[in-house]
Amino acid sequence: MNIQSMADAIRFLALDTIVAAGEGHQGVPLGMAEIAATLYANHLKVDPKNPAWPDRDRVVLSNGHGSMLLYALLHLSGYDKVDLPAIKSFRRLHSVCAGHPEIDQEAGIEITTGLLGQGIGCAVGMAVAEERLRAEFGAELCDHRTWAFVGDGCLQEGIGQEAISLAGHLRLGRLTFLWDDNHITDDGDTALSISEDIPTRFAAAGWHVVAVDGHDIAEIDAAITAAKSDPRPSLIACRTTIARGIPRLEGQRGGHSAPLTLQDAAEARAARNWTHGAFVIPQTIYDDWTKAMIRGQDAATAWETRIASAPKAAEFTRRMRGALPQNWPQIIADVEARLTASRAPRATIASSGDICEALETVLPELCILCADLEAPTNHKRSRTAFGPETRHGSYVHCGVREHLMGAMACGIAAHGGLIAVNVTHLALCRHECPAM
């Protein structure tokens, strides 16, 4: 496979689409093309022809304004719902290729990431779900990774630090952030508003950190390989040039989202020696993308064979489908009768804890997230805390991180297999609202 050509296909498909739409955020797809192409070509485990396969890797575009990076990847990889007409409908009403990704897992869009930082918070929830389900059902049914494309804005938002801190504490080793370190935000150079050493911030929180040239495919590939073998969550800091390939805008503030012209497209083609017309991708490049997907297709086929004889297959399938137990009406009637036998006044938070306790054995997919209020909310009770040595635990100590807790619940729901219950005081739940 020619990964550089695969990267340039991302770059020019995004460029042509944004020019045709009249607007978009070209900085991300043009700057992260080599990063994304390397991940998909050599490492990612997905099957575009079976997009909702439960044991697929999850990819989250946290810098969601750069959505043409994701749509180009999905189109080139062969997701049926992201065909060329869908690409050409970018940013139009009801298009699967919305300005910011929504959620359409049949199209390969795992979860919405409109608010910067929301995506990495969701990714932490997805990584928790994968660890918990692997502990319950074994690696033969659940054995995948979570990848997040991350921008400077994601790491400046407060939820970003919450995600870094908790993921490091929980040692979510199957979570990798690919940071588009281009030193540019909408206002200009990041030095206008931030001077901290971001990789050191991750390292202090217990992450594996490596810095690479974000346009050097060999360096990127080696860093991803190292991340996969490290027990800690990983940050790959990819130094990139925003809007790479457009002479007028690359490395500049305008590279973020300045309107593009046909002249920009022509000059980019000359600069990158891309001789193909608008929306034209050579069949040889499509063929390379098809070859890159064989790894995931083979993994999906092997997984189907394993689950066919797995002792816990029925329960795993029920959970991933989001179905309640067959006798659910009777279960909930019994719980209601037991908890309402006494007419004595009971605080609502205490009643919530009673319900979660009553459901612990009959609804094992419950995952209680609590923001440092174990004693006053009393939801932990007999539950084991989820942690590096207790992946089967169904109670997650989130610390004083309500915003992250809200985003994690979204990620857990999008992942599937668990039902998140977030616990905090009514006043403090306002911190969760941006994640909902």
Q: Which residues of 257-268 are buried (b: 16+ CB within 10 A; e: fewer)?
A: bbebeeebbebb
**Cα 241 from chain centre:** 23
Q: Which of 307, 388, 432 is nearest to 128 (CA)?
A: 388
Q: How far is 63 from 150, CA to CA, in rounded Å?
A: 5
Q: Which two structure tokens, joined as six digits, stand for 251?
A: 């490395």
Q: How far is CA 10 from CA 3, 17, 34, 64, in A?
A: 11, 11, 9, 16
What does the pLDDT read at residue 140?
A: 98
Residue 202, phi-psi category: left (phi > 0), alpha (psi -120 to 50), beta (remainder): alpha
pTM beyond cutoff 0.85: yes
Catalytic machinery residues? 402
Residue 340 tokens read as 């309402």
Instruction: Please state, in angstroms and rounded to a whole number, the distance separating the CA atoms of residues 14 and 88.
Output: 10
Per-residue pLDDT of the chain (436 residues; tens, 9 = 90+): 999 999 999 999 999 999 999 999 999 999 999 999 999 999 999 999 999 999 999 999 999 999 999 999 999 999 999 999 999 999 999 999 999 998 999 999 999 887 899 999 999 999 999 999 999 999 999 999 999 999 999 999 999 999 999 999 999 999 999 999 999 988 999 999 999 999 999 999 999 999 999 999 999 999 999 999 999 999 999 999 999 999 999 999 999 999 999 999 999 999 999 999 999 999 999 999 999 999 999 999 999 999 999 999 999 999 999 999 999 999 999 999 999 998 899 888 899 999 999 999 999 999 999 999 999 999 999 999 999 999 999 999 999 999 999 999 999 999 999 999 999 998 999 999 888 7
Distance of alpha carbon 408 from alpha carbon 418, whole angstroms: 12
The Cα 231–Cα 173 span in angstroms is 5
